[in-house]
Structure formats: C-alpha cells, structure tokens
Homo-oligomer: A and B are copies of this chain.
Amino acid sequence: MPGVGSLCHHGRVTAVDRTHPIAVFDSGVGGLTVLHECLVWLPHEDFVYLGDTARFPYGGRDADDLRARSLAVARRLRDDGAKMIVVACNSATSAALPALRDELGDAVAVVGTVEPAARLAAAATRNGRVGLLATPATVASGAYARTLADVDLTSVACPKLAPLIQAGGELDSRVVALVDEYCEPLIAAGVDTVVLGCTHYPLVRAVLQRALGRGVTIVSSGQAIADEVERQLTERDIENDTDRRGSYRFVCSGDAGEFRALAARSLQLPVDGVERIDIEEYVGVAGRAA
C-alpha cells in the first residue's frame, strides 16, 4: 500500500486503489467520534486519522485560516494515498468543503460533517424546532442555518465546551454546569431535536441527554457520516472488498504522546502508535492533483 505505511512526502497517487485507506481529520480528538463510527460500521476498510493538534482548536479560527489549513492537510493526505477524505470537524467543513472539493477534484472523494447531520436532524424533528450546539466558527458560518432552512433553528455557540473536553480531564460538575448553560436557550425554545454541531460533543452525550431530557432526540455526525462514506464508496466502486479486518492508525501535528493518551481515552478501541508529522510545508502549496 504505497504511502500508507511510509507516509512518503510528496508522493503522487494517480489512480484510486480500493485497498488504500480512508483519511479522517480534525484539529483534535473530537473527530475520533466520527472515526469510531466508521471503524464499527466499516470494519473492512483501512483508516488513517490525522489530528492537526498543532492548530487546535479549529473552532476559534476565521474562515480564511481554516480554509488554508484544511487544504494543506488534505494535500498531505492525498499525497499519502488516501482514497477518500472525511473532514471530521464542523468548523473546517463549514469554511472549506467547496475549496477542498475544488482542490481534490474527482481523484479523492471528500465527505464533510454538516450535510449528513442536518439531513438526520430534519428527518428526526416532529415539531419543526431544532437546536444547534456548535463552535463560534460553525455558528458564524451559517452552514447549518442554510442546510436547515426549512426548520425553526435555535443556534447556541459554545466557545468553552470543546476545549474543556479536549483538555481530557475527568467529567465533573464544571462540564455539567457548562452543558446546562448552553442547553438552556434550547429548552426555552422548545426544540425536540438537537444537532451536535461539533465532533467533540458526543464525548459528553450522556450529560447532554440528561440536561435536555428524554423527549429530545440528539443527532451527531458520526453515524450519519459512516452512512455517507459507505454510500460514496459504493457509488464510486472503491470499497475495500477483501475479507480481512481493516487496520487504522494515527498521525498528528503536535505532541504525539499527549495525543495518544487523549485518543486512548476517547476512542473506545485500542490506540497503538501515533506518529508526529509535519503539515507546515503543505500550507500555501499549489495543488498537485492530476
């Protein structure tokens, strides 16, 4: 598998090989909630997860910055041989999805978080009132508001929640208090469905469900994305149809040991080695796609 084990720099992959891995990226461990669903429901595929931890959190960055960074990450993943790239971060999806699809063209499929989750939420609501919890960048982008134009959407920006989860401390009363604060406007608005518009939030799903009450349906990106990935693999005829179990591995742009410890606590599956990689050299590089 060229590039998969070696992560060769500036390698070129010209044809899509169904045995190549699917890449999943985010700025931190939040995207692991998406990887988790992909690993559980697509066990024959190989995956590589890229945590751009040197730039955590994406959620506080402006759109230009996010677009440049996402393009750099995606070029790196393409050159390493990814057959599909999953943008497992709502902020990056909101800012960069069209740019990523332009850059990568038909060679590499790109799946983002917003549309699959929004579709699930629109299907789930019974009273037409939907809540959104997300980072300031995602709320400001209006990506969910555009995709959920037919429902009464109440959006709450939660600047402190993803950093608190990423910090990896034990779940405690601070998390409960913060979740209560952010959920209060949604309860006041009478929503019956809440979209977790940040991939970190499923890591506190039980706290959220207790705060919102049992009448509220929580929708997260993970399962929706796993379904969308499967759909696109089939449509493009690039499923890994071998019979063996798939592999998965991790790279990050920050401290590898720190990332490994956090990932081991979040993924609920074994986390073996984590390799530190450099993304800086890909920032601002022109596209190399055929």
Contact = CB atoms under 8 A, between A and B. Distances in A.
Interface of A: 36, 39-43, 170-173, 175-176, 204-207, 209-210, 213-214, 245, 264-265, 267-272
B214 A269 contact: no
A245 B172 CA distance: 16
A209 B40 contact: yes
A39 B210 contact: yes
Given A43-B213, A213-B43, A214-B43, A171 B270 contact: yes
- Which 10 A-B pairs give the minimum distances between C-beta atoms? A43-B210, A40-B209, A206-B268, A172-B270, A171-B270, A206-B269, A41-B214, A40-B206, A170-B264, A173-B270
A207 B269 contact: yes
Number of copies: 2
Given A170-B264, A264-B171, A210 B245 contact: yes
Contacts of A272: 173
- What is the interface of chain A mostly: helix, strand, loop, or mixed? helix
A268 B209 contact: no
Contacts of A270: 170-173, 175-176, 207
A215 to B, nearest CB: 11
Given A42-B214, A170-B264, 8 more contacts: A36-B206, A40-B209, A41-B209, A171-B264, A171-B268, A171-B270, A172-B270, A173-B270
Contacts of A42: 214
13 contacts: A39-B206, A40-B209, A40-B214, A43-B209, A43-B210, A43-B213, A171-B267, A171-B269, A173-B272, A206-B267, A207-B268, A207-B270, A210-B245
* Residue from the set A175, A209, A268, A269 with the largest chain B CB neighbour count within 10 Å: A269
A173 B213 CA distance: 37
A217 to B, nearest CB: 13
Contacts of A268: 171, 204-207
A37 B30 CA distance: 23
Nearest to A209: B40
Contacts of A207: 268-270
A213 B245 CA distance: 9
Contacts of A205: 268
Contacts of A267: 171, 206
Contacts of A209: 40-41, 43
A41 B209 CA distance: 8
A176 B148 CA distance: 40
Nearest to A173: B270
A256 to B, nearest CB: 16
Nearest to A41: B214
A210 B245 CA distance: 8
Contacts of A269: 171, 206-207, 210
